[in-house]
């Protein structure tokens, strides 16, 4: 009888408001560190293949945006077109983050936390970053080649779409690209933090859509999605040179890394660690 009473009391407590309370910041930090350590414990080949997959999957954002541009750019105002393209932006992130593939701009924040806690070394961090970043880029390059060839041939993407989207990324000086990428990296780091604090898949999808929609609407520079955008533009458009791609890639990567590491990892770790 006591056992039945105890089980009833436990179920009642599980359904109480306490069970639905937001996670404490220390709990989120612990979960992030644990998740980061698991990534360090994975094999290099497993990390690279997962990152390569993410590079492919996130390209669907570019495919979706290019298709919508092709269909509606002649009928919509520039402002409405920009809004529609921003609504397309989150799709690749949903595929990657909910599908648990490895994305560099998540690891700029996540992978540093075990280093700050003393659970991983800087050398291991650089190896992990190198594997994930190179896998993301190579997957993105392959996706760029596929849609640059297939889209115009079938007709669901006009080459002008690749030209337009690429120029949205490269028509700035390096300082602007760097600062824009810093904001994007900051937001991607916060995305990982908020996704960990969420209890349900639907909540996580909402957070992914909200954050990445803002990145897309503001035109902020993301080093993985932007790599596909600019690389595809370079393949298609004769007025985009490889040096334009390099300028974008170097400063977008630097900005994303610093934004995620400094404004999320260091500050959140300090905030949660100080008693």
The whole-model pTM stands at 0.88
What domains can be seen in the chain, in order of their start residue? 24-273 (1.20.1080.10)
- pLDDT digit string (tens) for 9-55? 444 444 444 445 667 778 888 888 998 999 999 999 999 999 999 99
- pLDDT digit string (tens) for 93-150? 999 999 999 999 988 888 999 999 999 999 999 999 999 999 999 999 999 999 999 9
Contact 273, 121 (CB under 8 A): no
Beta carbons within 8 Å of 254's beta carbon, 6+ residues apart: 178, 181
The phi-psi region of residue 132 (left if phi > 0; otherwise alpha if psi is between -120 and 50; otherwise beta) is alpha
């Amino acid at each position: 009888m006591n056992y039945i009473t105890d089980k009833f009391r436990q179920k009642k407590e599980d359904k109480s408001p306490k069970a639905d309370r937001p996670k404490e910041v220390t709990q989120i930090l612990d979960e992030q560190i644990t998740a980061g350590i698991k990534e360090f414990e994975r094999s290099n080949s497993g990390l690279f293949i997962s990152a390569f997959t993410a590079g492919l999957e996130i390209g669907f954002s570019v495919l979706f945006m290019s298709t919508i541009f092709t269909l509606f750019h002649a009928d919509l105002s520039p402002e409405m077109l920009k809004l529609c393209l921003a609504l397309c932006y989150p799709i690749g992130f949903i595929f990657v983050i909910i599908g648990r593939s490895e994305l560099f701009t998540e690891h700029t924040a996540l992978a540093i936390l075990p280093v700050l806690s003393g659970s991983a070394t800087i050398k291991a961090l650089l190896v992990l970053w190198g594997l994930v970043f190179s896998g993301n880029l190579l997957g993105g390059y392959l996706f760029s080649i596929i849609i640059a060839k297939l889209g115009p041939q079938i007709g669901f993407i006009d080459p002008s779409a690749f030209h337009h989207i690429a120029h949205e990324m490269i028509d700035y000086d390096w300082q602007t690209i760097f600062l824009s990428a810093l904001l994007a990296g900051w937001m991607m780091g916060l995305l990982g933090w908020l996704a960990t604090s969420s209890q349900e898949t639907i909540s996580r999808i909402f957070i992914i859509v909200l954050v990445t929609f803002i990145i897309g609407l503001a035109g902020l520079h993301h080093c993985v999605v932007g790599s596909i955008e600019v690389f595809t533009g370079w393949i298609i458009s004769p007025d985009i040179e490889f040096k334009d791609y390099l300028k974008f890639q170097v400063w977008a990567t630097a900005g994303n890394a610093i934004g995620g590491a400094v404004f999320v990892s260091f500050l959140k770790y300090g905030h949660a660690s100080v008693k």
